A = this chain, B = another copy of it.
Amino acid sequence: MIGARLQAFAAELYPICRSITGAGVRDTLRRVGRHIPLKIHEVPSGTQVFDWEVPLEWNIEDAYVLDPQGRKVIDFQQHNLHLVSYSEPLDRKLTFAELKPHLHAHMVNPDWIPYRTSYYQRNWGFCLRGRDLEALGAGDYRVKVVSSLARGSLSYGEFYLPGRTREEVLLFTHICHPSLANDNTSGIAIATWLGAWLAQQPRRYSYRIVFAPGTIGSLSWLKRNESRLPAVRHGLVLGLLGDSAPLTYKRSRRGNAEIDKIAEYALASLEPAARAISFEPYGYDERQLCSPGFDLPVGRLTRSVNDGYPEYHSSADNLALISSAQLQDSLLACQRICEIIEADRRYINLSPKGEARLGKRGLYGGTGGSSPAAREHAMLWMLNQSDGSNSILDIARKSSRPVDVLAEAARELAGAELLREVADAEAGAREFRKIVAKKSPAISKAGKRRKR
């Protein structure tokens, strides 16, 4: 049911002609904004962002090519992909030889229109099916591109959900691709629904979902938020989440960040075929978020990797390539990751010398001799391992006991003042050392018997 709504929203977004700036991006953000309240940011053309500059804003009205007989042989109205994105305005007659270098066909499949762009080099071009290209003959062609390239701005949207701490979970999805379904109406739909779901959850962390054009959009966001980056505790790039490849987690550049352990654990618990792959610098906005000057703890949840499926960046990446079931499973994976992020706390044992006597606190079965239940086992694990160096997830991995059972045990033990949550491993280890160093109470006088 949620899958069907995700698929419907992807279908709604599919026909829009997005690019890295312009009306298509703003229309997309508006539609996302019907489901979750977005704050829209505009970054003016010409703004310097690190080694880059925000380009002129591009808007497109129409584009076509007329053959020598005056027939419209390429027509932007038929498919967004027919026009190279950021094509400059043009109205010109050309021989076929002059036109040819501006025509792009798919390398492999003659029935697919490829997707091409020229954001940073002023140019124009058309993409078409290989079989249509072959049908074109000599003669004079008329080429018309009714576009504008003008001072304006780049748009991105943010959905911010405050939590109990200011530490943030950063979620990022790219919104710059035109009619490509998996890449990335799937990611936009899932990020939207995930935002709506998060808004209804209790939150320890704050969450920020950014809908931005690829590369220049994430660079702009990084530039505007550079001072805030230390607050990013975990992050995920969301993209390519509707196709039939298994759920895939691409690790952060660090490779051993908490999010890496969390996401791998979550995926393994959901789908046996789920994969974790190593970081590589080619990809989506992890390219920027994980550049060495930032090196954020951000991984990517995906299905196919970029260029990992034949239909990638072609008209065959259409709504038939994605399915409601796959979208729904991807959303569930996001939710599961967020649940583990929330659950993965760290405690110290306040009674660490010997086992605490759970029985007198009603936390352990009264009659001895039979083996402890799962809940009691989980308590023993939490007590034994809580010296600051292990989080619940660490303990789950060591003990093969579920995060949720351990988290529940921890809550009970914290309620009985046997565990105390700590901020991080360093603080935890420090506090724990203090507790251990504390002298145990002197042995009570033999004569003094206490009631239990």
Question: Which A residues have a C-beta under 8 Å from some C-beta of B?
Answer: 44-53, 56, 84-85, 104, 107, 114-121, 123, 125, 151, 215, 218-219, 222-224, 226, 253, 278, 280-282, 287-288, 290-295, 306-307, 313, 349, 351-357, 359-360, 366-372, 377, 380-381, 383-387, 398-399, 432, 435-436, 440-441, 443-450, 452
Besides the contacts A118-B366, A125-B367, what 14 more A-B pairs have beta carbons closer than 8 Å? Answer: A50-B351, A52-B357, A117-B367, A120-B452, A219-B354, A281-B380, A281-B381, A282-B377, A287-B380, A288-B355, A292-B383, A292-B387, A293-B352, A307-B371
In the bound assembly, the distance between CA atoms of A372 and B282 in angstroms comes to 9
Q: Is the CB–CB distance between B51 and A354 below 8 Å?
A: yes
Partner of A222, one of B51, B293, B354: B354
In the bound assembly, the distance between CA atoms of A381 and B387 in angstroms comes to 39
Chain B residues, Cβ within 8 Å of A436: 292-293
Query: What are 9 A-B contacts with C-beta separation under 8 Å?
Result: A46-B444, A47-B443, A50-B440, A51-B353, A53-B449, A123-B367, A218-B354, A280-B381, A282-B380
CB-based nearest B residue for A353 = B293
Chain A to chain B: the 3 pairs with minimum beta-carbon distance, closest first: A293-B352, A44-B446, A293-B353
Q: Is the CB–CB distance between B352 and A292 below 8 Å?
A: yes
CB-based nearest B residue for A117 = B368
Q: Is the CB–CB distance between A50 and B292 below 8 Å?
A: no
Chain B residues, Cβ within 8 Å of A45: 446, 449
Q: Is the CB–CB distance between B444 and A47 below 8 Å?
A: yes
In the bound assembly, the distance between CA atoms of A287 and B306 in angstroms comes to 50
Q: Is the CB–CB distance between A123 and B366 below 8 Å?
A: yes
Q: Is the CB–CB distance between B117 and A369 below 8 Å?
A: yes
Residue from A50, A359, A371 having most chain B Cβ neighbours under 10 A: A50
Q: Is the CB–CB distance between A367 and B118 below 8 Å?
A: yes
In the bound assembly, the distance between CA atoms of A257 and B291 in angstroms comes to 28
The count of identical subunits is 3
In the bound assembly, the distance between CA atoms of A383 and B291 in angstroms comes to 8
Q: Is the CB–CB distance between A432 and B52 below 8 Å?
A: no
Chain B residues, Cβ within 8 Å of A218: 354
Chain B residues, Cβ within 8 Å of A295: 387
In the bound assembly, the distance between CA atoms of A295 and B447 in angstroms comes to 31
Chain B residues, Cβ within 8 Å of A116: 367-370
Q: Is the CB–CB distance between A48 and B282 below 8 Å?
A: no
Q: Is the CB–CB distance between B449 and A151 below 8 Å?
A: yes
Chain B residues, Cβ within 8 Å of A114: 369-370
- Shortest CB distance A182–B (Å): 15
Q: Is the CB–CB distance between B380 and A48 below 8 Å?
A: no
In the bound assembly, the distance between CA atoms of A290 and B386 in angstroms comes to 13
Q: Is the CB–CB distance between A306 and B222 below 8 Å?
A: no
CB-based nearest B residue for A382 = B281
CB-based nearest B residue for A439 = B226
- Shortest CB distance A442–B (Å): 8
Chain B residues, Cβ within 8 Å of A369: 85, 114-117, 313
CB-based nearest B residue for A372 = B282
CB-based nearest B residue for A384 = B281
- Shortest CB distance A54–B (Å): 9
- Shortest CB distance A384–B (Å): 4
Chain B residues, Cβ within 8 Å of A52: 354, 357
Chain B residues, Cβ within 8 Å of A360: 120
Q: Is the CB–CB distance between A384 and B226 below 8 Å?
A: no
Contact A447 B281, CB 8 Å, known A219-B354, A291-B384, A313-B369? no
- Shortest CB distance A195–B (Å): 25
Q: Is the CB–CB distance between B117 and A49 below 8 Å?
A: no
Chain B residues, Cβ within 8 Å of A445: 46
In the bound assembly, the distance between CA atoms of A104 and B380 in angstroms comes to 25
- Shortest CB distance A59–B (Å): 17
Chain B residues, Cβ within 8 Å of A450: 46, 48, 53
Q: Is the CB–CB distance between A349 and B444 below 8 Å?
A: no
Q: Is the CB–CB distance between A281 and B151 below 8 Å?
A: no
Chain B residues, Cβ within 8 Å of A357: 51-52, 120
Q: Is the CB–CB distance between A452 and B372 below 8 Å?
A: no
- Shortest CB distance A446–B (Å): 3
Chain B residues, Cβ within 8 Å of A288: 354-355
In the bound assembly, the distance between CA atoms of A115 and B368 in angstroms comes to 8
